Amino acid sequence: MSNALEIKWTLNNIAKSSDRQVANMSVSEMEKAANFHKSFPQYAVTPLTPLPNLAAYLGLRRLCVKDESYRFGLNAFKVLGGSYAIARYIAQQLGKDIREVPYQVLVSDKLREEFGQAAFFTATDGNHGRGIAWAANKLGQKCVVRMPKGTTRTRFENIAKENASVTIEDLNYDDCVRMAAKEAGETDHGIMVQDTAWEGYEEIPTWIMQGYGTLAMEADKQLEACNSRPTHIFVQAGVGSLAGAVIGYFSNRFKENPPVMTVVEADAADCLYRSALQADGRRVDVTGDMTTIMAGLACGEANTVSWDILRNHANAFVSCPDWVSANGTRIYGCPLRGDKQVISGESGSVSMGLIHAVMTKPEYKDLKEALKLDENSEVLLISSEGDTDPDRYREIVWEGSFSTRT
């Protein structure tokens, strides 16, 4: 019998599809999104932080982390997708190309006269909804946000202060998605902006994923400036949108020799891992409360667009208990002497906890060998959020919470 606190993994033996979605994450599509984001006065490239001493300690050639805690002052990457999807929707409604509606046009009185005002609906654990609310607020649009039970007050208040109509429901994340979608459909000029996709709802999630591609393109260029390219990428997943965007981008960027790319999930919501374990191409949903400290990953139904990319291009799927994430948060927050500190929240740090466990713990030697991790490996991680829940962050770093492995 397996230990509930152990890391579970499987290599990708999934039945392949026609692979039609990966083209949507092409370099040219990501460039459109990146150029749109550059039009924002708040835009700045987020740091790619090298951790050379930790790399040496773990037995790797290079270890770098893309630190999204600096993104637009919102402490997480999610705004990249929401802002781009809203802009694409407005452009589509006006019959314009996205290149015709940069930030200054979107906030102009002329555009509001042409477009009017929409109500953008979404469901969120915190970061996605905050990004949608922020973008809608900047653009003079309405926003309605539904949050699942267990949501912290801090996450709620961060959204409310962006003038959004926001509630915490007695529902899990996936049921909040259904609630928001129903409300959007019943509202005049109501639009669902969600980073999960299902049959019949894939265009807006695709735009969101393309928006996430900005961080992948930035990281690629930052590594290139250091005469480096990743041999390995670890990227966390809830519904899989970020993972699909990153893996889709690098699959297109290095078609002949892509990095070894691993999807990392919370074990309480490991729908992608379970789908990979089943291996017949069908998605396996996770239901129930999905209790985990990794709130941003507590999603039990995979995005259909990203699943098509991941089943064809991910190398491995890993399911991690909470101690992995907590350990990653502490490693980032208390670096080896000479390395820079990274403030990484629970959903952002699980890939760091995983690479540490794989490289240092004998019980994960098989996974290390399967991923071909060694002294020649150049590893890219993405810290997708900062301390978006400051109280929980202090519990983990100061008090050592969630450190149990036995």
Residues annotated catalytic, as ranges: 78, 125
Distances (CA, A) of 150 to 153, 362, 400: 9, 36, 21
CA distance 296 to 173: 10
CA nearest to 247, candidates 233, 226, 237: 233
- Residues whose CB falls within 8 Å of the CB of residue 221, separated by 6 or more in sequence, listed in order: none
- CA distances, 350 to each of 56, 178, 237 (Å): 20, 27, 10
What b/e string do you get for 186-222 counting C-beta neighbours within 10 Å, with b at 16 or more? Answer: eeeebbbbbbbbbeebbebbbbbbbbbbbbbbbbbeb
Bridge partners, 149 (sequence order):
none
Nearest to 347 by CA among 261, 270, 236, 242: 236
CB 265 within 8 A of CB 296: no
Q: How far from 222 is each of 2, 204, 213, CA to CA, in Å?
A: 41, 28, 14
φ, ψ of residue 298 in degrees (nearest 5): -80, 65
The one-letter amino acid at 295: A
Give the CA angle between residues 297, 173, 77 to the nearest 5°.
45
Cα 76 versus chain centre, distance: 9
* 3-state SS assignment for residue 304: helix
Backbone angles phi, psi at 204, to 5 degrees: -65, -45
Strand, coil or helix: 17? coil
Q: State how far Cα 406 lies from the chain centre.
A: 29
**Tokens representing residue 93 in the block:** 């409604």
Q: Exposed, middle or buried, 41 (CB in 10 Å: 0-12/13-18/19+)?
A: exposed
**Ranges assigned E (strand) in 84-226:** 119-123, 142-147, 165-168, 190-192
